[in-house]
Amino acid sequence: MIGRNSDILITGGNGNLGRLVAQKFLGQGRRVIKFDVPGTESDHVQENEVVVNGDVRDAQVLEDLIKKYKPDMILHLASLLSGSSEADLSVAWDVNATSSFNLLKLAHENKVRQFFFASTIATYGAVEIDPMPGNYPQWPENLYGVTKVAVERLGVYFKRRHGLDFRCLRFPLVLSPYAPKTAVTAFPSHAIAAAIEGESFVFPVSPQTGVSTIFLEDVVDGIVLYNQASAESLTQHVYNLDAYYLSADLIAREISKRFADFNYTFELIKAVDQMIAGWPGEVNDHDARADWGWTPKFDLTRSVDRVIELIKE
């Protein structure tokens, strides 16, 4: 029986990644506290699962939560994503940066052992080298990336200065059947959903525009595996993950193999095209593979098959 001090707090626990990561830890018999904004929770609460509604911008709520549940580990996934960050810069800074600082400080003050933060390859801005080396300079071009770099640096400060076991992964584009409709960069997932519905699809980028991509279930497994690795095995503060290259043209052809009637066009939205074209097509994830055994199970073909399966479910 695992005791109270192995509890895990997941912020953004009802999100795309959060609820699947929670599911994995619940399956291991861990108690999981899922924290997210009201209205995102499911009706069914599982054994060992605690669902708490609130806003990460409320530092008092975070403090009460940590003092009440005394989690051993915090997985901080609550965030505005790239589009919504650009739509409201002040809210994005408050949710993504200030709240993360408050949470890191509270974790340190309340002796939380381990803190995981979800970062992104959007922290790099335009990248000139493919595959992008792990030590490539981070000069993000959108506020989302800026907030993520800020929190990476804060986390490493709390690790070096205060001994918090801070861990962080940078994900490429995540191919997910649950991608929100408003996420313009999630066009590969939206295109698959359109094909299933028998609808035509307009790609917001040129056929050749592509980016390093990873399937949702690989990300979830990666988060769990990494957070269970021994601290001694980790040589990096932050690890990049990579799985395969995906362009608009590649996903369109992959979908057409399965849905012969799939009807699509390309109508470039310049800002989206430029942002994605700037991100790396391939990322060197050698350190993650060498240090804690990261290996993606899904290539492009398997990812598309699995997304279709999950959407149909």
Ligand X SMILES: NC(=O)c1ccc[n+]([C@@H]2O[C@H](COP(=O)([O-])OP(=O)(O)OC[C@H]3O[C@@H](n4cnc5c(N)ncnc54)[C@H](O)[C@@H]3O)[C@@H](O)[C@H]2O)c1
Using CB under 6 A, list all residues that contact ligand X: 12, 14-18, 36-37, 40, 55-57, 77-81, 95, 118, 120, 171, 173-174
* Residue (37 or 229) nearer to ligand X, CB: 37
Contact 56, 11 (CB under 8 A): yes
CA distance 298 to 166: 27
**Least distance between ligand X and beta carbon 183 (Å):** 7
* Residue (14 or 240) nearer to ligand X, CB: 14
CA distance 19 to 34: 8
**Least distance between ligand X and beta carbon 281 (Å):** 16
* Residue (3 or 39) nearer to ligand X, CB: 39
CA distance 31 to 139: 38
What residues pair up with 166 in beta bridges, in sequence order? Answer: 115
* Residue (59 or 156) nearer to ligand X, CB: 59
* Residue (15 or 131) nearer to ligand X, CB: 15
CA distance 29 to 31: 7
Which residue's entry shows tokens 């001994």? 163
C-alpha dist (Å) from residue 59 to 63, 64, 107, 158: 6, 9, 12, 18
* Residue (2 or 271) nearer to ligand X, CB: 271
CA distance 70 to 105: 14
Cβ neighbour number for residue 195 with a 10 Å cutoff: 25
Instruction: Write 86-92 long-range contacts (CB < 8 A, 24+).
Output: 86/142, 86/143, 86/144, 89/143, 92/143, 92/144, 92/147
* Residue (14 or 284) nearer to ligand X, CB: 14
Sheet holding 238-240, edge to edge: 49-53, 32-36, 8-11, 73-76, 114-120, 165-171, 238-240
**Least distance between ligand X and beta carbon 129 (Å):** 20
**Least distance between ligand X and beta carbon 260 (Å):** 29
* Shortest-Cβ-distance residue relative to ligand X: 15
**Least distance between ligand X and beta carbon 269 (Å):** 18
**Least distance between ligand X and beta carbon 80 (Å):** 6
Q: Please provide the DSSP assignment of 227-276 as one string.
A: HHS-GGG---SEEE---EEEEHHHHHHHHHHH-TT--EEE---HHHHHHH
**Least distance between ligand X and beta carbon 290 (Å):** 22
